[in-house]
Amino acid sequence: NAGVTQTPKFQVLKTGQSMTLQCAQDMNHNSMYWYRQDPGMGLRLIYYSASEGTTDKGEVPNGYNVSRLNKREFSLRLESAAPSQTSVYFCASSEGGGRDTQYFGPGTRLTVL
């Protein structure tokens, strides 16, 4: 099992460009999450999908959109990238429910110039 995979691993964008970060899991998990991690800030939830067909905003959703394409895949889109979106982005998945463990992908390091 690959677990949670993310593409790309690294990306450099210019201000105003758009891109989509891809995430896939092969653990048959119901819930999927997108986080960003900035120095000294811990992990902050951008969007999550509790189950296929549903998405909800997290703590820092502005400037992002998501799509739960199917049970396996959850993508994060930046429509018009800004330097403030320079960060490391992690996708995670879990079975669902309050006690379950979230498993993280390897991350995407994004720089917006």
Which stretches of the chain bind other proteins, using CB under 8 A?
Answer: 31, 33, 35, 40-45, 48, 50, 58, 90, 94, 96-99, 101-107
Integer Cα distance of 47 and 56 in angstroms: 6
Q: Between the CA of residue 28 and those of 6, 22, 47, 73, 106, what are the distances in Å?
A: 16, 17, 19, 11, 18
Of 17 and 102, nearer to other proteins (C-beta) is 102
Min. distance of Cβ 97 from other proteins in angstroms? 6
Of 14 and 98, nearer to other proteins (C-beta) is 98
The encoded tokens of residue 84 equal: 């403030």
Phi, psi of 93 (to 5 degrees): -140, 160
Min. distance of Cβ 107 from other proteins in angstroms? 5
Of 49 and 85, nearer to other proteins (C-beta) is 49
